Chains A and B, each alone.
Chain A
């Protein structure tokens, strides 16, 4: 009897998760806080979500990339370096699936930040992109200041560290999904093909979200 009651509670809980008019919605991740504003004489409280701060980078074509270039785009970000012997090949193999799925979509991008900008110059990144078989402006490999990249990783909720004594960089293999308002909508283990399939599904859900007016 006790078990039955427990089972019912569990089922109710699971059911609750699935509701939302049958439509799946992605969560908004990161810190948030409430802001109360005075709009037309009345107090309005709004939730302010964590967003990716402004960036200043150069892509594999030598073009500068800032937030403006990303405005109005859904994008997936990750951190890598071209000489990475461990998890990067697995991540790139999986990211190629994302690339192939959405490379025709004009307002979708993939952003891979190098965490070894000293070695990964623009020509090195271009050569790497060519060998990976990526063309056009869907997938950018970005080079910028090392400090900025390490700070930026934190705002993507990703951990990257300096070279360890063995000369290796330790970094997370996460793919981060960012919406058009620069908010984090999902994080996925980039080394796991199943999680990357979920990322592809989630990008489709995010693309179907109604557009939000920006000021």
Chain B
């Protein structure tokens, strides 16, 4: 009898912990999904014409967004690149580009969305970029 009660309590605790674990995970997942789907819309509206539906860019005219090491190395300035545009030379996937990307004036939450989208599409997978992170990065833009 006592054993049964303990067993019962044990089961409930295990269930509770599992439920907590799942709900914690899905909170992160929900946050990710929210940024990602927002970012998908922003990408189509502001980025896709030039960078392509698959992030493939355009030959040596427009850089691709599939260079994982570029995205990693420049992680903290990506928000600045979107917000302020890019001028001058940059090298992506061993190709030198020297065109110009116009600035895209978006609020931090939308920049976070589009960066989450880019960083988790086209073969990239580096998780969520939050609006808070974007705000911090924007404070440190070189200019």
Closest Cβ of chain B to A187, distance in Å, is 21
Q: How large is the interface on B (under 10, 10 to 19, 20 to 34, 35 or more residues)?
A: 10 to 19
Q: Which of A186-210 contact B (CB under 8 A)?
A: none
Q: Which of A130-168 contact B (CB under 8 A)?
A: 130-133
A90 to B52, CA, bound (A): 8
Q: Are B59 and A133 in contact (CB under 8 A)?
A: yes
Q: Are B102 and A132 in contact (CB under 8 A)?
A: no
Closest Cβ of chain B to A171, distance in Å, is 14
Question: Which residue of chain A has its CB nearest to the CB of B50?
Answer: A89
Q: Are A92 and B50 in contact (CB under 8 A)?
A: no
Set of chain B residues within 8 Å of A130, measured between Cβ atoms: 60
What 0/1 pattern do residues 57 to 84 of B give for CB contact below 8 A with A? Answer: 0111110000000000000000000000
Closest Cβ of chain B to A132, distance in Å, is 5
Whether a CB of chain A sits under 8 angstroms from the CB of B49 is: yes
Interface size of A by Cβ–Cβ distance < 8 Å? 14
Q: Which of A6-29 contact B (CB under 8 A)?
A: none
Q: Which of B11-68 contact A (CB under 8 A)?
A: 49-50, 52, 58-62
Q: Are A92 and B58 in contact (CB under 8 A)?
A: yes
- Contact of A89 (CB < 8 Å), options: B58, B60, B100, B102: B58
Residues of A participating in the B interface, judged by any CB pair closer than 8 Å: 83, 85-87, 89-90, 92-93, 96, 128, 130-133
> Can you show 17 pairs from A to B with CB atoms below 8 A apart?
A83-B100, A85-B49, A85-B50, A85-B102, A86-B49, A87-B49, A89-B49, A89-B62, A90-B49, A92-B58, A128-B61, A130-B60, A131-B59, A132-B58, A132-B60, A133-B59, A133-B60
| Additional pairs, 20, CB under 8 Å, beyond known A83-B100, A90-B49, A132-B59 | A85-B49, A85-B50, A85-B102, A86-B49, A87-B49, A89-B49, A89-B50, A89-B58, A89-B61, A89-B62, A93-B52, A93-B58, A96-B59, A128-B61, A130-B60, A131-B59, A132-B58, A132-B60, A132-B61, A133-B59
